């Protein structure tokens, strides 16, 4: 006689029914709403005059964009209305935990979603990721409850929540991964030392046990980067990853005070568990239900279509970059790099050759408002460093900061010949111009630094040091992101809209091209190492120097004024100018600010030329 096989108990994911998952999703999310409203009700001082969310001040943001919307929000901003909305929101949050009917749950979810949307403008400062996630989850549970009679609608809503949850963790992990601060373990002590999120006891423990910092940081990175694995193996790994993520948020709630994050993100976990488990489930009454997986298929199809479109756009922009301006010439320098350059004005004109050196992640087109008027008076040369535009990086061997200087020196030697030159550099290009001037000696008749980088800025300026770390992380992600076709998602920078119309298409194609950011990452890697090793000795030049500083630069960071003063002090003859209304980019990309720079440069070069003629006599 055959032995009957023992009946296996269904696993955790198999036992989750559609209705159960939806109920727990809306309940967990409602706790975020409840806590948020209780916090706001007990902190009325934030909305009074002088508070972070005083409407008399914040409404200006909306009034400038849309006066009609601002007037409608004025009604909601009344303190009595705000209180009623928050109390209603709190009551609705509690109601989701009661045994309500479907229609009653639709009303509760609608109230939670609508009240949060109405109140958002009143709490611009203080809103965070928890509020965004709770709004998304509650809006989707509202849709699911309203269409609950059609299981496909509920499954679509749960799939959306699940995919958003996985995406949030994955993007967060991969964005942290290039950061040396996170990989080394220094991020966590830095966070726990801050005033907003700090905890003295935890920071003390981390300071004493640095190995624990690295282990914890690596654990967070592994958990977040590996989160898509929940979709493998019919969800066998799901409980472990959800448990790790939940523990992560629980610790954050204790250490950093991010209590609402715990409830907001855990409210997505039932949907993750449901969508990663078996497609078929048997309910308690024996009914077999089948999950509708149209949503992930639609998302995958949309993702493939967007990827294809992104690649088409990327290739089209690459062709624009490779076409360039059409009048470039090329020269191969001693490093093996092939540099593209062009003359603005008469290449055989009398007087010095004015060579314009661009900044990091910048191209010759940034100089258009400067080069065109200069070219009317002087032989003006613009070029692209190796890797930018149609210039090619062909150098062999290890990357060296000095290679950029070598290339500039070689370019001057091959293109300008024995003619005197004036080197003009912006940002990082300013320091490169200064180094090249030291090498070229008497051939250089003048050097102009336009809001130049200083080799000591990472050592002496906290703002620059922090910006440098952020730049390192951003540059680690940019090339790969753009190769994936994500270039159209880059926000158009203000400086791009300020350039002359005829160069904007090329400048924008360069900005959205992976080649520019690959080159910028390579250049920044060696420049950062050079700056961090700076010994305090600036290049020695014999030519006159003009230092032009953007007003916003020194308003943001007073150390920059000291650094620019040091540039002037190190030259045999120097003059300094301040473009008070300009920022770091506008100083050459804004027509009015660039006109001021042109006026200064023209007078400077004329003076050099007159002095040379006088010396010759």
pLDDT over 90 (residue 15): no
d(CA 381, CA 388): 16
pLDDT of residue 177: 87
Q: What is the rounded average pLDDT for all residues in the chain? A: 90
Q: Would you state the pLDDT for residue 179?
A: 81
Say which residue the tokens 């979709």 belong to. Answer: 231
Q: Six-digit token pair at 271?
A: 């949907």
Looking at per-residue confidence, does 9 or 457 come out higher? 457
The contacts of residue 397 (CB under 8 Å, 6+ apart) are: none
Q: Helix crossing, 129-146 with 259-266: angle to 10°? A: 30
Greatest Cα pair distance in the chain = 122
DSSP letter assigned to residue 380: E
Written as six digits, the tokens of 440 are 């070229």
**Cβ contacts of residue 65 below 8 Å, gap of 6+?**
none
pLDDT in tens, 457-506: 999 999 999 999 889 989 999 999 999 999 999 999 999 999 999 999 99
CB-based contacts of 385: which residues, under 8 Å, 6+ apart? Answer: 339, 358, 391, 404, 407, 519, 523
Q: Quick one: pLDDT band at residue 13, thresholds 50, 70, 90?
A: low
Q: What does each C-alpha distance from 570 to 439, 459, 537, 557, 606 come to in angstroms?
A: 16, 19, 9, 21, 22
Euclidean distance between CA atoms 417 and 355, whole angstroms: 13
Please tell me the predicted confidence (pLDDT) of residue 256.
80
- The pLDDT tens digits for 557-569 are 999 999 999 999 9
Q: What pLDDT does 257 receive?
A: 78
Q: Comparing 4 with 415, which gets the higher pLDDT? A: 415
Percent of the chain with pLDDT over 70: 93
Q: Which of 446, 248, 274 is nearest to 352 (CA)?
A: 446
Prediction pTM value: 0.82
Over residues 36-55, mean pLDDT: 76
> Quick one: pLDDT band at residue 234, thresholds 50, 70, 90?
confident
Whether the per-residue pLDDT at 8 is higher than 50: the answer is: no
pLDDT in tens, 372-381: 999 999 999 9
Strands in 374-519 per DSSP E:
379-384, 421-426, 444-450
Gyration radius of the chain over CA positions = 30
Q: How far is CA 383 from CA 410, 457, 499, in A?
A: 12, 26, 17
Kindly list the structural domains of the chain, giving each domain's residue range(s) and its CATH number in brackets, ordered by start.
18-292 (no CATH), 316-616 (3.40.50.1820)
Cβ–Cβ < 8 Å for 372, 344: yes
Cβ-based neighbour number of residue 118 at 10 Å: 17
Task: Give the DSSP letter of residue 419.
Answer: S
How sure is the predictor about 325, in pLDDT bands with cuts at 50, 70 and 90? very high
pLDDT of residue 195: 64
More confident residue, 211 or 440: 440
DSSP structure string for 241-293: HHHHHHHHHHHHHHHT--HHHHHHHHTTHHHHHHHHS-SEEE-TTS-EEE---
Secondary structure (H, E, C), 432-468: HHHHHHHHHHHHEEEEEEECCCCCCHHHHCHHHHHHH
Lowest mean pLDDT among 142-146, 215-219, 512-516: 215-219
């Amino acid at each position: 006689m055959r032995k009957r096989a023992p009946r296996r108990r269904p696993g955790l994911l198999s036992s989750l029914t559609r209705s159960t998952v939806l109920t727990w999703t809306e309940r967990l999310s409602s706790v975020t709403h409840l806590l948020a409203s209780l916090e706001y009700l007990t902190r009325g001082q934030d909305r009074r005059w002088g508070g972070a969310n005083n409407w008399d001040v914040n409404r200006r943001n909306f009034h400038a964009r849309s006066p009609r919307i601002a007037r409608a929000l004025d009604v909601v901003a009344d303190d009595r209305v705000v209180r009623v909305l928050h109390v209603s929101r709190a009551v609705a949050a509690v109601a989701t935990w009661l045994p309500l009917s479907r229609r009653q749950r639709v009303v509760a979810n609608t109230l939670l979603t609508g009240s949060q949307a109405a109140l958002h403008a009143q709490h611009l400062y203080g809103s965070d990721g928890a509020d965004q996630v709770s709004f998304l989850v509650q809006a989707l549970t509202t849709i699911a409850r309203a269409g609950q009679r059609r299981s496909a609608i509920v499954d679509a809503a749960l799939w959306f929540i699940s995919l958003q949850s996985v995406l949030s963790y994955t993007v967060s992990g991969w964005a942290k991964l290039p950061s040396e601060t996170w990989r080394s373990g220094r991020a966590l002590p830095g966070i726990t030392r801050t005033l907003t999120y700090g905890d003295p006891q935890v920071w003390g423990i981390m300071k004493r046990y640095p190995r624990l910092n690295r282990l914890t940081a690596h654990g967070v990175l592994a958990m977040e980067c590996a989160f898509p694995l929940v979709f493998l193996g019919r969800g066998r790994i799901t409980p472990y990853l959800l448990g790790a993520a939940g523990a992560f948020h629980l610790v954050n709630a204790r250490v950093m005070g991010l209590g609402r994050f715990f409830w907001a993100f855990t409210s997505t976990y039932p949907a993750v568990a449901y969508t990663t488990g078996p497609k078929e489930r048997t309910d308690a009454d024996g009914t077999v239900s089948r999950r509708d997986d149209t949503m992930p298929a639609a998302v995958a199809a949309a993702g493939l279509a967007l990827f294809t479109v992104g690649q088409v756009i990327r290739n089209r922009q690459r062709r624009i970059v490779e076409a360039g301006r059409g009048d470039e010439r090329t020269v191969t320098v001693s490093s093996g790099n092939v540099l593209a350059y062009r003359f603005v004005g008469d290449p055989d004109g009398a007087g010095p050759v004015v060579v314009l050196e661009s900044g990091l992640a910048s191209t010759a087109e940034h100089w258009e408002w400067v080069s065109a008027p200069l070219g009317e008076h002087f032989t003006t040369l613009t070029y692209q460093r190796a890797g930018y535009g149609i210039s090619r990086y062909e150098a062999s061997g290890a990357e060296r900061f000095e290679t950029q200087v070598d290339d500039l020196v070689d370019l001057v030697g091959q293109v300008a010949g024995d003619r005197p030159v004036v080197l003009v550099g912006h940002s990082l290009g300013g320091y490169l111009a200064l180094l090249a001037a030291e090498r070229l000696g008497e051939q250089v008749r003048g050097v102009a630094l336009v809001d130049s980088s200083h080799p000591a800025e990472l050592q002496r300026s906290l703002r620059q040091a922090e910006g440098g770390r952020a730049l390192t992380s951003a540059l680690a992600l940019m090339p790969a992101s753009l190769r994936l076709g994500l270039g159209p998602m880059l926000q158009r920078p203000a400086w791009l809209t300020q350039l002359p119309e005829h160069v904007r298409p090329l400048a924008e194609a360069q900005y959205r091209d992976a080649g520019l950011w690959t080159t910028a990452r390579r250049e920044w890697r060696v420049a950062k190492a050079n700056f961090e090793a700076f010994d305090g000795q600036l290049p020695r030049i014999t030519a006159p120097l003009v230092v032009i500083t953007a007003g916003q630069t020194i308003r943001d960071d007073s150390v920059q004024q000291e650094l620019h003063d040091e540039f002037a002090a190190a030259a045999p003859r120097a003059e300094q100018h301040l473009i008070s209304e300009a920022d770091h980019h506008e100083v050459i990309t804004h027509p009015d600010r660039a006109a001021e720079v042109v006026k200064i440069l023209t007078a400077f070069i004329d003076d050099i030329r007159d002095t040379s003629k006088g010396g010759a006599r």
